Amino acid sequence: MLNASYVGRSLPTTEPVTITAASVTRFAQALGLPDDGTVPPTYLISLTLPAAERLIDDPDFGLDWSRVLHRDQRFAYHRELRAGAAVSCAVTIESIKTVAGNDLLGLHTDVRDGDGVAAEVWTTLFVAAPGAAA
């Protein structure tokens, strides 16, 4: 079980990462999208999910990544991001709900560039109960 006292906590903001043309190309190709130089709408998952991985290293939180399934993802762009933009991620633990012994972890991430919040990402992860069948 995840530690519900973490709801409302924010993780330290990540160091800025520059979105490279090469990373955008690889992401677009992996999805079968045209490589037209624009950042695919779901590209931010490649930045936001690693920003939340520090929860794995926190034994008090109780997250075992081997029991995690990606359940839902939503994106809201406030302005277009392009290759060359330096962005950082600020993750907040929005909710933890227990359903039939399993946890649903809701995360909200602000993706910031030099002008402020460029996008928001909401992620829901299903965390199977310890001992649940794989």
CATH number of the domain where residue 65 is located: 3.10.129.10
Number of domains in the chain: 1
Cβ proximity of 68 and 125 under 8 Å: yes
- Report yes or no on 88 lying in a domain: yes
Considering only CA atoms, which of 14, 75, 88 is closest in space to residue 42?
75
- Report yes or no on 132 lying in a domain: no
As a whole number of angstroms, the distance between CA 44 and CA 56 comes to 20
Q: What is the mean pLDDT of residues 30-57?
A: 91
Is the pLDDT at 132 greater than 80, yes or no?
no
- Report yes or no on 107 lying in a domain: yes
Is the pLDDT at 57 greater than 90, yes or no?
no
> Distance of alpha carbon 18 from its chain centroid, rounded?
17
- Report yes or no on 9 lying in a domain: yes
Task: Grade residue 35 by pLDDT with cuts at 50, 70 and 90.
Answer: confident
How high is the pLDDT of residue 130? 85
Q: pLDDT tens digit string along 116-129? A: 999 999 999 999 99
Cβ proximity of 51 and 11 under 8 Å: yes
* pTM of the complete model: 0.91
Is the pLDDT at 2 greater than 90, yes or no?
yes
Task: Grade residue 131 by pLDDT with cuts at 50, 70 and 90.
Answer: confident
Is the pLDDT at 133 greater than 70, yes or no?
no
User: Residues near 122 by Cβ (< 8 Å), separated by ≥ 6?
Assistant: 72, 73, 74, 75, 94, 106, 107, 108, 109
The mean pLDDT value of the chain amounts to: 94
Q: Provide the residue range defining the domain that includes 23.
A: 4-127
- Report yes or no on 133 lying in a domain: no
